[in-house]
Amino acid sequence: MMWKEKYKVGVELIDTQHEELFKRVSEFIEVVQNENNWEDKIDKVKETMIFMQEYVITHFNSEEIYQEKINYPDLESHKKIHSDFKKMVNDYATILERDGYPKKVVQELAGKLMAWLIMHVAQTDQKIGLYVKHQGGEM
Ligand SMILES: [Fe+2]
């Protein structure tokens, strides 16, 4: 499990969703790292793609609504980062389906998901918590 306490933003809903994302992506990496019986893993890959596409929308919406609520100054650029990520996941979903879920591409995606998640949650999303703190506002 790659989730760390220090990744918390300080907003319960967002932190819970982040933790779930980390959990799912960690699991996904573990499954696809081992290439044995690859055919049996394709269902897991499909399920993860659907989860990522659906859950990420829910989560990004929650985060964006929260940022609107606190008048977060970087909302627009944050939205752009979210929409680029959604596009990456959707593009991978299309390619994977078209090409029959090749190991290398699935593993590459799993690595990218984790790298993106760590970078985004540990850096970009942290700024939301810091902003709230400096405003002295309520979370
Ligand atoms: Fe975010």
Let me know how long the chain is: 139
Model confidence pLDDT, tens digit, residues 10-29: 999 999 999 999 999 999 99
Question: CA–CA separation, 34 vs 29, rounded Å?
Answer: 9
Model confidence pLDDT, tens digit, residues 101-136: 999 999 999 999 999 999 999 999 999 999 998 886
C-alpha of residue 7 to centroid of ligand 1, in Å: 12
Flag whether pLDDT at 137 surpasses 90.
no
Please give the C-alpha separations between residue 56 and each of 7, 12, 53, 103, 104, in angstroms, as whole numbers: 17, 17, 6, 23, 23
Percent with pLDDT over 70 in the chain: 96
Q: How confident is the model at residue 138 (pLDDT cuts 50, 70, 90)?
A: low
Question: CA–CA separation, 107 vs 105, rounded Å?
Answer: 5
Q: At what angle do helices 103-119 and 38-69 cross, to 10 degrees?
A: 20
Model confidence pLDDT, tens digit, residues 45-54: 999 999 999 9
C-alpha of residue 139 to centroid of ligand 1, in Å: 16
pLDDT at 133: 87
Question: CA–CA separation, 98 vs 106, rounded Å?
Answer: 13
Amino acid at 52: M
C-alpha of residue 105 to centroid of ligand 1, in Å: 25
C-alpha of residue 129 to centroid of ligand 1, in Å: 11
**Residue 24 burial (C-beta neighbours within 10 Å; 0-12, 13-18, 19+):** middle
pLDDT at 139: 59
Amino acid at 35: E
